[in-house]
Amino acid sequence: MIILGINCFSHDTSACILVDGKLLAFAEEERFNRDKHTKRFPFQSINYCLETAGIEVEAVDLVGLAHKPGLDFTRAMLDILRRLPRSWRRLFIQPAVDLSLYLKKPFFRLAQGYTGKVVFVGHHEAHAAAAFFASPFDEAAVLSIDRGGDYLSTWLGVGKGNSLQKLGAVRQPHSLGEVYAAVTDYLGFRPNSDEGKVMGLAPYGDKTYFNKFKRLLKSDNKGGFKVDLNYFTYYLKQGWYDANFISQFGPKRLKGEEIGLRHKDIAAAVQHVTERTGLGLANFLSKTTKSKNLCLSGGVTLNSCMNAYILKNSDFEEIFIQPAAGDAGNALGAAYYLWHCVLGNERVEPMAHAFLGPEFSNEEIQAALETRGLNWQKLDDIENQCARRLADGKIVGWFQGRSEVGPRALGNRSILANATLPETKDIVNLKIKKRESFRPFAPAIMEEYAADYIDDYYPSPYMLLVQSIKKSLRTTVPSITHVDGTSRTQSVSKQTNPRFWKLIDSFRKESGVPVVLNTSFNVQGEPIVLTPFDAISTFKTSGMDCLAMGDYLVEKDQ
């Protein structure tokens, strides 16, 4: 049985393929078309999935599209009618949105020449399935927190074996993701893209606005929360926030305006209520399900500080966060939902890693290097050679194996640097990433040593938990330690990424420290590189010192 899962709902379109319940391939369209958070139908991802499975589209038994247009329409229209006349714009927008969603089914059939069955799967059911069925747990509480999908912002449920049961939901416009996106816009960043910047800014702020923000977003302790809609306009399709918001918190930060204390305090406040609201939802699930396992998905669960706060403060002992927690993950969720919940098949295997995208052979890499006229060396110890260069303070582009799915580079399309040197952060920023100076860089740490460096260490293979670096070691790894002593850690396993593990191990032998700085292989505003040609372009136009692709090493000063 072959199932193709597709997310073509809105942004971050993607596709995956399940063969008898086994995940063979999973990729995001932005990596192919180079348009970050793309909304384009994911034809290139679909073709990649079919090629990986070695089949033509006719061989697919079932296609899942991760949205449910009818549901969305009914729920949204009821809300729009209740809020007239303020919501009048949406009276026209909503039918158009739903029509476009309905049309995706015939559009896919026509474009691919597919005559088999195509099924719509609910947005949050897809998020929930992507978290639970990918997890190693036989049973777990499941929480999806989002901006919105099928007119729900939040979905609470429980997974057991091959089933998912809904226990509650929060309807839009009450949405944690929308509030966070609104504040992202208010602080002069790009909503639905730069939320991580707000999270990175938050530790610089203090409690000044905590109480005011708590009044904007209130948990009901029954698995729900309410947003004070008098302060926001996102649900009216008229910008993000109301004049009331401005009168409470002051003017919006303009593009290029210096970040002041007020901006930092507002970032701290929205992060504070996000963490408390997330914990409130998790606590409800903990009480209701009595499970010790929690699965998270939905765009808000890319907030690694919130995830860590929930793990630390709830009764849950184990956590699994879908690495493609945003809407890209819903391709997988739709496929899993059909395989397990609709067809009733048993679990096959958990998702062991996120390296599910395209890979390129040494021959393809060499051909790309020659086409671009670069001098290269072919090495049989590329890990040792790169570790030595990292120890010397060089910045290394690291391109290996299959590309990662999800927004984090996990050691196959990464830029690596020496975390022990205090100047590394500024150098990587200045030469390559051109990011705001307040944003932290993340560490990749060998899992065998992680507990030595991290307080209350919990495995974080997908860089989705912020954890505290032990006080005594913060000066050992200054470039990856944030202002509050935390770090968005990635624990690296020899089993799932042997080459990256070996590189860090070689660096450990050089420097005594089993940690490297790991940031995504891209420049600001671009998707993570996918092909050797993408990597070469980014290498050439940025300040990286070396590029390691497969067994090939290119050095800039040669």
Closest CB 371 distance from Fe ion, rounded Å: 39
Instruction: Give the binding range for Fe ion (CB under 5 A) out of 140-148, 446-454, 503-511, 529-537.
Output: 140-148
Ramachandran area for residue 373 (φ above 0: left; ψ -120 to 50: alpha; else beta): left
Q: Give the rounded distance of the alpha carbon of 90 from its chain centre.
A: 29
Residue among 149 and 461 whose Cβ is closer to Fe ion = 149
Contacts with Fe ion in 315-344 (CB under 5 A)? 327
The two beta strands, 225-227 and 139-149, are unpaired
Q: Does 146 bind Fe ion (CB under 5 A)?
A: yes
The two structure tokens encoding residue 492: 């690296």
In the complex with Fe ion, the residue whose CB is nearer, 127 or 272, is 127
Total residues contacting Fe ion (rule CB under 5 A)? 3
Tell me, residue by residue from 283 to 322, as one string, x for binding to Fe ion by CB under 5 A and - for no binding: ----------------------------------------
The stretch near Fe ion (CB under 5 A) out of 141-149, 309-317, 348-356, 496-504 is: 141-149
Tokens, residue 557: 């000063």
Contact between 12 and Fe ion (CB under 5 A)?
no
Of the two residues 135 and 330, which places its CB atom closer to Fe ion in the complex?
330
Q: Which stretch binds Fe ion (CB under 5 A): 13-21, 60-68, 149-157, 367-375?
A: 149-157
In whole angstroms, what is the distance from residue 360 CA to residue 364 CA?
A: 6
Q: How far is the CB of 327 from Fe ion (least distance, A)?
A: 4
Place of tokens 């009216």: 236
Dihedral (CA of 74, 153, 190, 130) sign: negative
**Which span (54-62, 80-88, 142-150, 511-519) binds Fe ion, by CB under 5 A?**
142-150
Cβ proximity to Fe ion, 72 vs 242, nearer residue? 72
Residues 6+ apart with CB under 8 A from 203: 268, 482, 483, 484, 486
Q: Which of 64, 122, 149, 203 touches Fe ion (CB under 5 A)?
A: 149
* CB-nearer residue toward Fe ion: 9 or 399: 9
Give dist(CA 437, CA 515) in Å, integer.
21
Q: Which stretch binds Fe ion (CB under 5 A): 143-151, 391-399, 409-417, 463-471?
A: 143-151
Task: Please identify, using beta-carbon distances, which residue of 14 and 112 lies nearer to Fe ion.
Answer: 14
Helices H / strands E in the chain, number of each: 18, 21
Which residues, 6 or more positions from 38, have their beta carbon under 8 angstroms from its beta carbon?
A: 11, 12, 13, 29, 30
Question: How far is 149 from 13, CA to CA, in rounded Å?
Answer: 14
Going residue by residue from 228 to 267, which x/- string records binding to Fe ion, judged by CB under 5 A?
----------------------------------------
Q: Residue 145 CB, nearest distance to Fe ion (Å)?
A: 9
Sorted by sequence, the CB contacts under 8 Å of residue 515 that are 6+ apart come out as: 419, 420, 443, 444, 445, 446, 449, 453, 477, 480, 504
Closer to Fe ion at the Cβ: 277 or 518?
Answer: 277
Residue nearest to Fe ion (CB): 146
Nearer to Fe ion among residue 153 and residue 486 (C-beta): 153
Distance of CA 496 to the CA centre of its chain: 19
DSSP string, 141-210: EEEEEEEEETTEEEEEEEEETTEEEEEEEEETTS-HHHHHHHHHHHTTS-TTT-HHHHHHHGGG--GGGH
**Amino acid identity at 288:** T
Give the nearest distance from C-beta 386 to Fe ion in angstroms. Answer: 37
Stretch of residues binding Fe ion (CB under 5 A), selected from 68-76, 144-152, 163-171, 370-378: 144-152
Stretch that binds Fe ion, among 42-50, 138-146, 205-213, 246-254 (CB under 5 A): 138-146
Nearer of residues 98 and 545 to Fe ion, judged by Cβ: 98
Whichever of 131 and 445 has its CB closer to Fe ion, that residue is 131
Q: Is 195 in the site for Fe ion (CB under 5 A)?
A: no
Q: Supply the minimum distance, in Å, between the C-beta of residue 363 and Fe ion.
A: 39
- Between the alpha carbon of residue 532 and those of residues 339, 400, 415, 547, the distances in Å are 35, 10, 14, 10
Q: Which is nearer to Fe ion, 144 or 489 (CB)?
A: 144
- Enumerate the H helices of 319-438 as residue ranges: 330-336, 362-371, 382-391, 424-428
Q: How far is the CB of 123 from Fe ion (least distance, A)?
A: 6
Which is nearest to 137 in space by CA: 444, 347, 367? 347
Nearer to Fe ion, 406 or 532 (CB): 406
Phi then psi for residue 206, to 5 deg, are -125, -165
- List contacts with Fe ion (CB under 5 A): 146, 149, 327
